[in-house]
């Protein structure tokens, strides 16, 4: 009887030492990127989004994948995103932010100790115009940066013979045009003077 009593007392203690079996008590939600992680709500229409897990077992590992479902060019069931994460001591966790092409998708969420079927959610990705990033390859000028200096215009080049500095233009021989004109005038004047002297001498 004593041995039986001791065995009966030891049995609950041994049972308590066993780790608790992990179950299907958690839930997963679709959250818009700006939604607080602590909010237990589902958002079936998103643009940038993440997956939020609640009240699973401590340290439970989850695997997930998102499949194309309708409203896009992909075949139904095509996996577009997948991953895994280990939940914290409260059974909570979240993925990184994601973005998918517009269309309808379905989330499949599986986890350790799963007894029933995978948890799933159908949702729609729909980004408003202007929510997309810049066109690939597009560059924008740095603030304050100016473009290259314009090439000098051909009309700005000095025209040969055009004296814009006030100097006398030169002839092909290198002599200034004004100097040649002055020399010619002196020669004409000297010739007239000599002719007048010659006429005076003849009269005398």
Residues 95 and 187 in one domain: no
Residue 184, domain extent: 175-204
Each of the 204 residues of the chain gets a pLDDT tens digit; together they read 455 444 444 444 444 443 445 668 899 999 999 999 999 999 999 999 999 999 999 999 999 999 999 999 999 999 999 999 999 999 999 999 999 999 999 999 999 988 888 899 999 999 998 765 433 334 333 344 444 455 555 544 544 544 444 444 444 445 454 554 555 555 555 555 555 555 554 455
Residues 40 and 110 in one domain: yes
* CB contact at 8 A, 102 and 125: yes
CA–CA separation, 35 and 89 (whole Å): 22
Q: Are residues 187 and 116 in the same domain?
A: no
Distances (CA, A) of 30 to 38, 109, 186: 12, 12, 105
Give the integer Cα–Cα distance in Å for 68 and 124: 10
Please check whether residue 17 lies inside any domain of the structure: no
* Any domain includes 198: yes
Q: Are strands 103-111 and 27-32 parallel, antiparallel or unpaired?
A: unpaired
CB crowding 53-65: b at 16 or more within 10 Å, else e: bbebbeebbbebb
Give the whole-angstrom CA distance, residue 178 versus residue 13.
Answer: 126
Q: Is 61 a domain residue?
A: yes
pTM: 0.55
Specify whether 114 is located in the same domain as 46.
Answer: yes
Opening angle at CA 39, ends 60 and 126, nearest 5: 100
Q: Are residues 99 and 182 in the same domain?
A: no
How confident is the model at residue 25, as a pLDDT?
Answer: 85
φ, ψ of residue 137 to 5 degrees: the values are: 90, -10
Is the separation of the CB atoms in 49 and 96 below 8 Å?
Answer: no
Per-residue confidence (pLDDT) for residue 184, from 0 to 100? 52
Same domain, 117 and 31: yes
Give the model's pLDDT for residue 182: 52
Structurally, how many domains does the chain consist of?
Answer: 2
What's the CA gap between 179 and 5, in Å, rounded?
Answer: 141
Beta carbons within 8 Å of 10's beta carbon, 6+ residues apart: none
Residues 105/46, Cβ–Cβ less than 8 Å: no
Show which of 65, 97, 125 is a domain's final residue. 125
Q: Is residue 101 part of a domain?
A: yes
pLDDT of residue 187: 53
Based on the fold, state whether residues 204 and 114 are members of the same structural domain: no
Pairing mode, strands 48-54 and 93-94: antiparallel
Q: Does 38 lie in the same domain as 102?
A: yes
Task: Give me 99's structure tokens.
Answer: 């973005």
Report the SS3 class of residue 46. strand
* Coil vs helix vs strand at 30: strand
Domain boundary (125, 156, 184) is at 125
Q: Give the pLDDT of residue 186.
A: 52
């Amino acid at each position: 009887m004593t041995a039986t009593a001791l065995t009966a007392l030891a049995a609950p203690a041994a049972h308590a030492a066993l780790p608790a079996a992990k179950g299907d008590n958690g839930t997963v939600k679709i959250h818009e990127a700006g939604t607080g992680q602590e909010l237990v709500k589902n958002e079936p229409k998103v643009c940038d989004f993440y997956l939020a897990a609640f009240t699973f077992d401590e340290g439970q590992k989850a695997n997930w994948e998102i499949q194309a479902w309708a409203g896009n060019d992909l075949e139904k069931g095509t996996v577009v995103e997948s991953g895994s994460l280990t939940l914290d001591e409260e059974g909570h966790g979240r993925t990184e932010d994601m973005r998918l092409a517009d269309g309808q998708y379905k989330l499949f969420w599986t986890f350790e100790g799963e007894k029933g079927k995978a948890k799933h959610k159908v949702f729609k990705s729909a980004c408003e115009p202007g929510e997309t990033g810049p066109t690939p390859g597009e560059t924008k000028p740095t603030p304050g940066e100016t473009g290259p200096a314009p090439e000098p215009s051909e009309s700005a080049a000095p025209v040969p013979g055009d004296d814009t500095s006030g100097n006398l233009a030169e002839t092909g021989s290198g002599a200034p045009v004004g100097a040649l004109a002055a020399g010619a005038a002196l020669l004409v004047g000297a010739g007239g003077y000599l002719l007048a002297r010659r006429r005076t001498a003849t009269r005398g």
